[in-house]
Amino acid sequence: MELLTDEEIAGQQPYAYWLDGVKGLGNGKKQKLLSHFQRPEEICLAEKEVLSPFLTGEQIQALKEEKRRVEEYYELSGKGICFYPFYHPCYPQRLREIPDKPFGLYVKGELPKEEERSLAIVGARNCSEYGRYLAEAFGGELGAKGVQIISGFAKGVDGLAQAAALEAGGSSFGVLGCGVDVCYPASHAGLYEQILENGGLLSPYPPGTPPLSFHFPPRNRIISGLADAVLVIEAREKSGTLITVDMALEQGREVYVVPGRVTDRLSDGCNRLLQQGAGVALSPAQLFAELEESLWRDKKSYPLKAGKAGGVEAPGQDAPKGKEEALLALLEITPLSLDEIRLKMKENKRLRDISLPDTLELLLKLVLKGCVRQVGSCYARVGKAGEYGHR
């Protein structure tokens, strides 16, 4: 396709928007048509006979019936949505390189910055507490280091990592399986607002598209495509996350995986990837250092935003002492039920004789000090930034 000037591109936008919305035409077909006709406008105005060598009768029919959408383009800006076809200068460079790149991209908020680091964090929707913790730790810490966190805006790992990145003062971008004006899942209404302030929402689907199940796998290639590398936190075998990984490998992206216990079904997919030779992510710091070494050598260092050091809250000033400290040492990152804690205490010399009510008092005090997190009737230690794995 010959190079169009910026003015020409701007002039063609309504027609590009129209072409994107034509149903019954695949991504590849649209791009092929365009490479022949050069301008979307010409496709729009072309006679049936001219189109017939390229399209079937039904496809031409679909093209002709689609006309009214041209004017709708001007309504997009009112909704704060931008549309970029693949030849548009704003179309993400990273995405341009991937096979089967989407014809057009709808964007609410911003696009990921080309010169900045970007990492996709993906994982299970029904994540465990372990996955929740990791998603928040990686999302938060890397977000604070200026890494743009790309993910699928889904429940579980995706949303948690994105929320943590935003919380830590970083930026994040969600790739949706519905129109960018649709908040799905609805429970992410808060995150939807937040992400528009420090990042953006992207979708290959026109505004108003409902979240249908077959929309989601195709958007996975955009998640990996927008990122320099993909980090997997908790995935079952045969899961959508692994589709993203396949796409990433096809696109030549690095894949990193956080290992899990071999007995956890939610870690099966992760451990399988490790077996197949994926990179190992042991801590946010280690992953960052490794990527800095390999992929991000040329990126300029990012000035840390003041105030928000890590993704995880720092514990309060008065550190736990004595029995509190001993009890804290028994707790784990994953929540333990009160009975499990009590059983562990019975095996500990210092804590053996503490009664149940006293245990609860100690635990609640630790919760108030910010050292322990209460998850319903269970208790978990609050992890400190960089406390595990290689530093």
Partner 1 sequence: MFSSMYAGGIAGMEAYPVRVEVDISRGLPGFELVGSLDREVKEGKERVQIALKNAGLSLPVAKITVNLSPADIRKEGTGYDLAIAAGLLACMGRIDPQSLQDTAFLGEMALDGEVSRVNGVLPIALALRKEGIRNLVVPAQNAAEGEGVSGIAVIGIKNMEEFLIYLQAGKEERRTLFPGKKAGGGKGKEASHAFPDFADVYGQESARRAAEVAAAGFHHLLLTGPPGAGKTMIAGRMPGILPPLTQQERTEVASIYSVAGKLGGKETLSERRPFVAPHHTVSPQGLAGGGRIPRPGMLSLAHRGILFLDEMPEFAAETLEVLRQPMEEKVVRIVRSRGSYCYPADFMLVGAMNPCPCGYYPDRNRCSCSETQVKRYLSRISGPILDRIDMVAQAAPIQLKDLHKRERGESSADMAKRVSEARRRQKIRFQGSPYHFNGELSGRDTERYCELGREERRFLEQVFEAGEMSLRAYHKVIKLARTIADLDGEERIGLRHLSEAVYYNSGRKQLWKGE
Q: Of these, 360, 384, 388, 389, which contacts partner 1 (CB under 8 A)?
A: 360
Q: Which is nearer to partner 1, 89 or 357 (CB)?
A: 357
Spatial neighbors of 299 by CB under 8 A, at least 6 apart, are 115, 116, 117, 292
Q: In the window 262-281, what residues touch partner 1 (CB under 8 A)?
A: 263-266
Determine if 326 is a binding residue for partner 1 (CB under 8 A): no
Q: Which segment (20-28, 93-101, 323-331, 368-376) binds partner 1 by CB under 8 A?
A: 368-376
Write the binding mask 115 to 134 for partner 1: x where contact by CB under 8 A, - elsewhere.
Answer: ----------xxxxx-----
Q: Which stretch, 51-59, 75-83, 164-172, 366-374, contacts partner 1 (CB under 8 A)?
A: 366-374
Question: Considering beta carbons, is residue 154 or 165 the nearer one to partner 1?
Answer: 154
* Distance separating alpha carbons of residues 218 and 27, to the nearest angstrom: 11
Which of 374, 387, 390, 391 forms a contact with partner 1 (CB under 8 A)? 374
Dihedral sign (CA 233, 163, 287, 91): positive
Residue 231: strand, helix, or coil = strand
- If binding means CB under 8 A, how many residues of this protein chain bind partner 1? 33
Gap between the Cα atoms of 224 and 246, Å rounded: 9
Q: Rank residues 69 and 342 by Cβ distance to partner 1 and give the closer one.
A: 342
**Nearest-approach distance from CB 263 to partner 1, in angstroms:** 7
Q: In one letter, which amino acid is 370?
A: G
Strands (E), the chain: 81-85, 104-109, 118-123, 148-151, 172-175, 199-203, 229-233, 254-257, 279-280, 336-337, 372-375, 378-381
Give the residue, chosen from 340, 344, 384, 389, that forms a contact with partner 1 under the rule CB under 8 A.
340
Residues 318-340: b if buried by 16+ CB within 10 A, e if exposed: eebeeebebbbebbebbbbeeee
Could you give the CA distance from residue 340 to residue 369 in angstroms, rounded to a whole number?
Answer: 22
Q: How far is the CB of 383 from partner 1 (least distance, A)?
A: 17
Q: Confirm if 182 and 176 have CB atoms less than 8 A apart.
A: yes
CB of 269 to partner 1, least distance (A): 13
Encoding tokens for residue 233? 């936190």
Q: What is the DSSP letter of 227?
A: S
Which of 367, 384, 388, 389 is in the footprint of partner 1 by CB under 8 A? 367
Contact status: 235 vs partner 1 (CB under 8 A) = no
CB-nearer residue toward partner 1: 244 or 267: 267
Provide the binding-site residues for partner 1, judged by CB under 8 A: 125-129, 155-156, 263-266, 335, 337-340, 342-343, 356-358, 360-361, 363-365, 367-368, 374-378
